[in-house]
Amino acid sequence: MYIDIFTDVLVDSEKIVGIFDLDNTTTNKFTNDFLNTLQKENKITYLVSDIPKSFILMEDGSVYIVELSSQILKKRFEII
């Protein structure tokens, strides 16, 4: 199944490793270093037109930064 994470952007739910809240996770040095490394490797895709609220880690190591909260994404994930 696929989850809608932004206007006309779907991701395969089977390939999602985790959905994380940016406010709670970016206070951790490890998470900041991890995201900075992915940024340098061009593995982060920003899907925001407003304030980013969460990020989705995919199986292949790529990350989507989205404006949907982790709670909304979790609900979409549970529906499928």
Long-range contacts of 27-32 (CB under 8 A, 24+ apart): none
Q: Which of 11, 8, 4 is nearest to 63 (CA)?
A: 11
Q: Per-residue confidence at 76, pLDDT binned at 50, 70, 90?
A: confident
pLDDT tens-place string over residues 32-51: 999 999 999 999 999 998 89
Give the pTM. Answer: 0.90
Average pLDDT, the chain: 92
Q: Is the per-residue pLDDT at 80 higher than 70?
A: no
Task: Give the type of residue at 11.
Answer: V
CA dist 58 to 19, 39, 50, 61, 65, Å? 9, 14, 22, 5, 11
Q: List, in sequence order, every residue forming a beta bridge with 10; answer none if it has no partner.
A: 4
